[in-house]
Structure 1
Amino acid sequence: MKGFLQLLATQRWDDHRYYHQSRINQTLHLISAISFLVAYVWLFIDPAVSALIGWCISMGTRQSGHFFFEPRGFDHVNNATDAHKEAIKVGYNMQRKTVLIGVWAGIPAVLWFFPSLGGLIEPAVGFAGFLHDLGWAWLMLGVSGMLFRVLQLWLRDGLVVGLAWMTKILTDPFHDVLMYWKSPFYLMRGQLLDPMEHVRSH
């Protein structure tokens, strides 16, 4: 158990210091975390609605922070190249995220043109029905994407590493609220980048 918690702490620390230096990205992660917590509640009410919130709001804000605002190139805080960080990324690096987002964006078109998915489901009635089916499809994508990465990590690094990463992903909303609740205030003061003094002194 101690080793598992150490792995979890290391993955969280590396994720923060390597990929959350932008105050805009941190603020978007705060918004994402809050909306994910709302999605967690809806998971017990209507899983399809939970997935719509998770993908459209939570993932939208989270990934736009990474793609558009997080600095790329040489990382002077950690003395590491972007290629090095991408190569050692435990979870979904930018290349894997691009593939995942591509699949996510393609699912609505598949459901629109093949509403029964070849007879696997009952065709949706109306736009509300379409959205409900889309929510379920996106939920399946999220679950399968997580399990697929856990399997990859299991085969490469061992099951404990994969389970630690899955635990990190599922608890990130709680952790991000604690980590980044001050970020909007720093941003309003004009601080676009976290000085990361706690990282430099680590």
Structure 2
Amino acid sequence: MTGFRAQLAEQRWDDHRYYHHSLINQSLHFISACTFLVAYLILFVDPAVASLLAWGVAMTSRQAGHFFFEPKGFDHENGVSHEYKEEIKVGYNLFRKYILMGIWAAIPVVLAIEPTLFGTLIRPDGFEAYLRHVGIGWLFLGVIAIAFRTTQLFFVRDVETGLVWATKIVTEPFSDFKLYRAAPIRLLKGERIDTRHAG
């Protein structure tokens, strides 16, 4: 268990120091963490609404931080290139995220064109029912995305790395809430880049 916890701490630290320099990104991660925590509370009561909240607010704000605000040049603080960081990323690097978010965006389009998903779903009665189908589709996407990358890591790394990464992803809203809760205040004070990343 000690090794598992140490690797979890290492994965979290590497993710923070390599991919969270921008305080705008950190602030968006704080918003994302708060939203995910609410979605976790709703999940067992209304999974469709929880998923709509998680993907529609938490994931979009989170990935917008990475796509649009995080520096992509040479990381002088850690002494590595952006390409190196992308290559060693344990979870979803930017390329994999583009694919994931592309599938995410495609789900509502597919369900708008084919509301019964070729006869596998009950035809939605109105827009709310359609949104619920989208929410469930996004929920399945989230579960499949975690399971797929975890299994992939079993083979390209090892079983423990995969299990640690899955644990990191599921518990990330809690750690991000704690880690980035001061980011919005720092951003409002005029800071833009967090320079406390060197390992």
The TM-score with structure 1 as length reference comes to 0.97
Tell me the CA shift for residue 156 of structure 1. Answer: 1.0
CA distance in 1, matches of 2:121, 2:132: 12
For residues 143-199 of structure 1, the C-alpha deviation after alignment (integer angstroms, 9 at most, x for no partner) is 001100001001111111011001001111100111111111111111100121xx3
Find the residue that maps to 1:119 and give its secondary structure. Answer: coil
TM-score, with length taken from structure 2: 0.98
Question: Aligned equivalents of 1:26 and 1:112: distance in 2?
Answer: 34
* Structure 1 residue 36: Cα displacement: 0.2
Partners of 2:123 and 2:149 lie apart in 1 by 31
- Identify the residue that residue 127 of structure 1 maps to in structure 2: 127
Alpha-carbon displacement from aligned partner over 1:77-128 (angstroms, at most 9, x marks no partner): 1000000000000000000000000011011111111111111111111001
RMSD of Structure 2 on Structure 1 (CA): 0.8
AA aligned to 1:22 is S
How far apart, CA to CA, are the structure 2 residues paired with 1:33 and 1:90? 20
Count how many residue pairs are aligned between Structure 1 and Structure 2. 199
Tell me, in whole angstroms, the C-alpha distance in 1 between the residues paired with 2:119 and 2:186.
53
Q: Any gaps of 5 or more consecutive residues in structure 1?
A: none
Runs ≥4 residues deviating over 4 A: none
Number of the residue aligned with 1:35: 35
**2:189: which partner in 1?**
189
Paired with 1:93 and 1:165, the residues of 2 have a C-alpha distance of 13
Aligned to 2:153: 153
Task: State how far apart, in whole Å, the 1-side matches of 2:100 and 2:132 are.
Answer: 20
CA distance in structure 2 between the partners assigned to 1:185 and 1:103 by the alignment? 34
**Percent of residue pairs bearing the same amino acid type:** 51
Task: Indicate the residue corresponding to 2:47 in structure 1.
Answer: 47
Match of 2:192, SS?
A: coil
